[in-house]
Structure 1
């Protein structure tokens, strides 16, 4: 998955089908995945490591077991309509299943619930070993620790990715890309955070 971070502030209307950003960092937008193929933040298994002192702990672990093998259930149809993406495609990468939605205008959303890669500890280890060209910590999203960790900084292309700790061993990996006509309108990382918030709403509700 990709990664980047921002100190979220009130912004104007941005993004894909347009969005209204709320104080503190959430936006109602239309985004998509950074490369419409698969999340890119998760380091390879050979680089994962245990939790270190600098890795934020997950104080309220969230049960995502029913979503791990069915990531396309991580967003409801209502949420997808709001985001302006569809055409769900599920596929497999070495770290597990992921889902991609697109809109035909360059916008996309990727998500995966990544198990067995060290959780956020694996992502922080990737930072220490120089995997990520762009790494920043985020304020907690809906109560869960989050970071932007990207193999390259794709913000100029409207792309951003966020890794969120669901448990100390599982992350939610979300990667979005703005539609071509929205690139340059606002911060693409704001889009990703909004999508993460909606996914967390769905997971907490049980799907």
Structure 2
């Protein structure tokens, strides 16, 4: 069967798997964003805590994804839970790093002016520092999302949802009927999904960033 015929026949399945893939990635990144931004705000002005947080979350990126998925199986079993937890752990570092970088890049004079106006630390963070740091923070979320799109494909090894099911299924049957088509469809699907999500973040950035900060 040609690849075009394969796509025509299997399109509903591929679309379903792509939707599952996107869903698990976005859930994991949302969890990582809450953790990463919150932690970044908490440690940004505490050098030791900041170094420790960046060191621990950065170390997570050195753990092979298959090994991490395997380590989570005894605790959370197979399927959705270990997939989301592993992806969130991988996604925290770029978000945390960019949150800290963005907050550190806010001009001191701007914050001093806000303090002189009687604004509390919470008000300065919410109304001044975070909005000014937002483009850098959003870039961290964007990087984390694209990174986890690729890693999510490996979650098929622990029965995770998504396009990895096609890739692993095709590789397991290599030489069999439609094995190559399955692998190719899954691989291209991951690439296309990453591109679509990246474009969505470009739009989100334009919608949520003040014109003077673009």
- TM-score, normalised with respect to structure 1: 0.27
**Greater share of residues in strand:** 1
TM score, norm. by length of structure 2: 0.26
Q: Which has the higher helix share?
A: 2
Q: Larger C-alpha radius of gyration, 1 or 2?
A: 2
Which has the higher relative contact order, 1 or 2, with Cα contacts under 8 A spaced 6 or more apart? 1
